[in-house]
Structure formats: structure tokens, C-alpha cells
Amino acid sequence: MASRNIPIKYTEIFINNKFVKSIDGKVFSVIDSANEQKICDVQEGDEADINLAVEAAKNAFRFGSPWRTMDASKRGSLMYKLVELASRDKDYLARLETLHNGKPLAESQADVEFSIGCLRHYAGWADKIHGSVIPSDGPHMTITRKEPVGVVGQIIPWNYPLLMTAWKWGPALATGCTIVMKPSVNTPLTTLHMAALSKEAGFPDGVINIVPGRGSTAGNALSKHMDVNKIAFTGSTAIGKKIMKVAAETNLKRVSLELGGKSPLIILPDADIDEAVSFSQDAIYVTMGQCCSAGSRTLVHESIYDEFVKKSVEAAKKRKIGDPFEKDVNHGPMVSEKQFKRVMSYIETGKKEGAKIETGGNRWGTKGYFIEPTIFTEVKDSMEIARDEIFGPVQLIFKFSSMEEAFERANRTYYGLAAGIVTKNIDSALMFAQKVQAGSVWVNCWNSQRPQTPFGGYKESGFGRDLGEEGLNNYLETKTITIRVPQKNS
């Protein structure tokens, strides 16, 4: 088993390339969710700390600053240096991620690789962002110029702390913005380590600032700050709505939101059942279901339903639960006691609503926030567990009779983040891809993402896109410059 004796190097707020204590001296405890023991105390930022961080980012973005006058290719070089340093520390970062997040070490290692790839992808974009020349009527020449939006506030969740850091930093840095990021109080440690690496890489003072704190205080202060030009948020739909309201009531700052989901995975009768079971469990049990794009609604054709349920139960029972540092463990704890209680509450609600538990539904062990892989059948679309985002290891298996019915029910949700289908029929796959209301559609796979592929949602799953070229648009303004051209020689 990999050692969980990991040195904690950074526990303070990061402003202007310095680690500092919070102004009022408050701290919060970071807990190891596998054993409920305290890992360390971290300085807790509040409105006053956010104000300092925004001032640093604003100064770093001022016209004529080292960051603003830096050649675009130099920005890319700094990002490549950050990639090198993260690659150097990737084993440490993966272990640190597992320690304070609870996901199995293999998952954390994959997240680190994706994070490095994301930063590398955007480093390559830094000197390739440009405007265009537009034909305009009359004696004019018109050009457009792409400019960074300015100081950006970034608020990230606890389920993918390192990955979300990379997803948000990458396009912001490539476009030339400056950053104030608020990581979750549950999982600030890998983001703080990345902040230290950014200083080592040579980023100028104030370009990257990290203020760990609570959403109600630090997050709210960042969202309403009049000198913040944009908020990028990944988290729950409820909080996303609050951020939009605050942004509208202050300076109409730009907002991009990647929010919740209740994503459907449709299994057609021509699917290979063993393969479909594997896809469906990858979809719901990754990060123990604490994933916004989790395939939490599995819709199975009635002709294969019984066999699919039987094999799903067998597969769920084979998942190895335990210490996420232990070899071959693929099911760790919930991130916190709060999340554990939330998921267990939904399981109890499902029972009361009349859904049938085929396996799981219980706490595992006596220490740590572990919940068994759980499967509900006999679920109705009207049930609370079928409508709400549970955000835990709870698979709901529904039965359908026709493809038209399945497609209609797939869209019967306020969310629209992801969707998938398992079939050997390309016509069925293409029809589903066109009809389903979701930002990502996966055919015979799930959660297949790359730094190049845009990710975001329809409906109450948010708007704006992370990743790929589209991810840059969140951080750019388009300036139109029209020049009158004399028609006669002077």
C-alpha cells in the first residue's frame, strides 16, 4: 500500500507570489475522509483576504505591467515550465489528492495526467489567439482584436480539485488574464501546491492568487467584487444561480457555469450486455458517484432488463471498498461527513418512495465515510431519487419499451450535462446524439474526455464551455477597430 504519510507543505493563502496568513487568523481543518482524522489546518480566507487578492490580480493586469507586456509566446513558455514542474511532482500530487479527497489512488493518478495534459494544451494556445480582418463597406478597414477579459474569479469544487485547477487556469493564463481562485475547504491542498509551482515557474507577482475559504464568505465576496471581470464556477446548480444573481446585481461581470447533472445512459437491446454493464458502472461509480457527469439514470430495454440487473448487481458486489491508498481498491469514501449524510438521506428516501434496493444501501465499516455501491430498481421518473442529483454511488436502473420512449425520458430532466447510449446500430446512435439535450454525448463509452474536447451543459447544467478552443472564449473580449482609409493620395 502506498504511504499516507505525506508531508503537507503549503497551508496558507497565496497572494502576490507569497504564502500569508489570513487577516483575521481563522483556520479550518482538512479531514482524511477514509479515517476521519485531521490532516492539517489551513488558513481560512474571508472578504478582506479576497480584497487583497483581487487588488494583487488587478495590479498584475494593469496596462504596462510585466504580465501585460509579456510576449504571448513567453506566457506559453511559463505554462510549459509549470507543466514540467507538475510532471516532476506528479506522484506527490496524486497522493496528496487522494489523501484529502478520498478517491482511489489510481483515479488520482489519472487526474494528475489529465491536469498536466490540459495545461500543456493551453500552453500551446498562448501565441495562437488572434483576431481577423473584416470586409466593411465604404472607405474603411476593420480588424478585430482578442483581448483578455481581465481579473477572473474562479471557484472550484472538491470532487476534482487538481483537475478543476488546471481546467480553469489553462485558458485564463493562455489568454493573459489574472486569477483569484477559491478552492473548496474540503480539498485545498493540491491547488496550493500548484500555486507554489507557479511561483517556481516564474509567473509574475499577482497573476495567480489562491484564497481557500467558504462559499458563503470568500466565494460570495469574490462573486460580488466590483473589480472582478468574470466568474468561472463549477459546482451545484443552486449555487450557480446565486452567483448569477450576485453578478447581475453588481457589475454585470461575465459568468460561466458548469453545474449539476442527472445524466441518462440508454442500453439498447442489441448491446453487448457485459460491455454495457461495465460502461454503466464506470459511469456511476467513478469518484464514488461524486461526479457532475455521472451516468446516474440507466435506462435498459425490457428485453434485456432482468439479465442486465443481475449482472450489474454481481459487478457492484465485486467492487473493492477500502483505504484508497490500498492496492486494487476502486471504491473509496465520500469526501466528507456532510456528503455522506446527504447520500444516505437520498438512499432512505428511495426506500420510502418504493424503489427496490438490489444491493448496497449501507455504510461500509465503522470508520470513514464509506457507502456501499448501491443499485435501485423499480424506480419511477417521478421519484425524488430519479429527479435530484444524489452525487453518490447510487445507480438507478429503469426499464423502457421503445427507443422513442427512452429518448423522451432521457430529456425529462432539468439538467443537460451528459448522456450516453450503448448500441451496435449507428443509426440509433446518431439519432440519439441529435435528439438528446446534453452538452456531451458518449456512444459506447462514458466520460471520454480530452483537453481538446469542449465540456459543459444545456439547461440547468449551466452554460459556457471548459476545455478545447471553446474554453478560451470565456476569457476573451472581442474589440472591433475600424479605420477610415483616405480615398485620394495626399
Q: Which of 224, 192, 232, 187 is nearest to 54 (CA)?
A: 224
In which region does residue 343 sit, left (phi positive, over 0), alpha (psi from -120 to 50) or beta (all else)? alpha
Identified catalytic residue from 12, 258, 358, 389: 258
Confidence bin at 3 (pLDDT 50/70/90): low
- The answer to whether the CB of 188 falls within 8 A of the CB of 155 is no
Provide the 10 A C-beta neighbour count for residue 365: 14
Query: What's the mean pLDDT in 427-439?
Result: 98
Q: Which pLDDT score is estimated for 114?
A: 98
Percent of the chain with pLDDT over 90: 97
Q: Which three cell numbers stand for residue 351?
A: 426506500
Distance (Å, whole) CA 166 – CA 466: 10
Query: What's the mean pLDDT in 466-485?
Result: 96
Provide the 10 A C-beta neighbour count for residue 452: 12
Q: Which of 113, 247, 233 is nearest to 168 (CA)?
A: 233
Distance (Å, whole) CA 9 – CA 161: 17
Provide the 10 A C-beta neighbour count for residue 250: 13
Query: What's the mean pLDDT in 268-278?
Result: 98
Percent of the chain with pLDDT over 70: 99
Q: Which pLDDT score is estimated for 124?
A: 98
- The answer to whether the CB of 104 falls within 8 A of the CB of 326 is no
Q: Which of 94, 226, 236, 250 is nearest to 155 (CA)?
A: 236
- The answer to whether the CB of 316 falls within 8 A of the CB of 281 is yes
The string of DSSP letters for 255-284 reads EEEE-----EEEE-TTS-HHHHHHHHHHHH
- The answer to whether the CB of 339 falls within 8 A of the CB of 385 is no
The string of DSSP letters for 412-450 reads -SS--SEEEEE-S-HHHHHHHHHHS--SEEEES-SS---
The radius of gyration of the chain's CA atoms, rounded to the nearest angstrom, is: 24
Per-state percent for the chain, helix, strand, coil, to nearest 5? 40, 20, 40
Q: Which three cell numbers stand for residue 297?
A: 439514470
CA distances from 457 to 119, 162, 342 (A): 22, 21, 24
- The answer to whether the CB of 14 falls within 8 A of the CB of 6 is no
The more confident residue out of 138 and 245 is 245
Residue 477's SS3 state is: strand
Query: What's the mean pLDDT in 103-118?
Result: 98
Q: Which helix (H) or strand (E) holds 146?
A: strand 140-148
Q: Which pLDDT score is estimated for 333?
A: 98
Residue 335 reports pLDDT greater than 80: yes
Cell 429518448 identifies what position?
407
In which region does residue 391 sit, left (phi positive, over 0), alpha (psi from -120 to 50) or beta (all else)? left
Residue 222 reports pLDDT greater than 70: yes
Residue 383: partners with Cβ closer than 8 Å, 6 or more residues away: 350, 353, 354, 355
Q: Which of 195, 187, 252 is nearest to 223 (CA)?
A: 252
Cell 467558504 identifies what position?
214
Distance (Å, whole) CA 458 – CA 443: 18
Q: Which pLDDT score is estimated for 331?
A: 98
Q: Is 258 a catalytic residue?
A: yes
* pLDDT tens for each residue of 387-421: 999 999 999 999 999 999 999 999 999 999 999 99
- Give the end-to-end CA distance of the chain in Å, rounded to a whole number: 81
Cell 511561483 identifies what position?
199
Q: Which helix (H) or strand (E) holds 386?
A: helix 384-387
Distance (Å, whole) CA 10 – CA 192: 6
Q: Which of 271, 270, 222, 216 is nearest to 239 (CA)?
A: 216
Q: Which domains does the chain have, with CATH numbers?
A: 13-259+457-479 (3.40.605.10), 264-443 (3.40.309.10)
Residue 488 reports pLDDT greater than 80: no
Phi, psi angle pair for 374, to nearest 5°: -120, 140
- Edge-to-edge, what's the strand order for the sheet holding 133-134? 133-134, 140-148, 476-484
Query: What's the mean pLDDT in 104-132?
Result: 97
Q: Which three cell numbers stand for residue 418?
A: 451528459
Q: Which three cell numbers stand for residue 403?
A: 427507443
Query: What's the mean pLDDT in 341-354?
Result: 98
Stated pTM of the model: 0.96
Q: Which residues face 480 on adjacent strands?
A: 144
Query: What's the mean pLDDT in 254-268?
Result: 98
Cell 435501485 identifies what position?
376
Query: What's the mean pLDDT in 175-189?
Result: 98
Provide the 10 A C-beta neighbour count for residue 139: 10
Residue 400: partners with Cβ closer than 8 Å, 6 or more residues away: 266, 299, 300, 301, 302, 406, 409
Which pairing describes strands 230-234 and 254-258: parallel, antiparallel, or unpaired?
A: parallel
Question: Sign of the CA dihedral 214, 219, 220, 221?
Answer: positive
Q: Which three cell numbers stand for residue 478?
A: 472581442
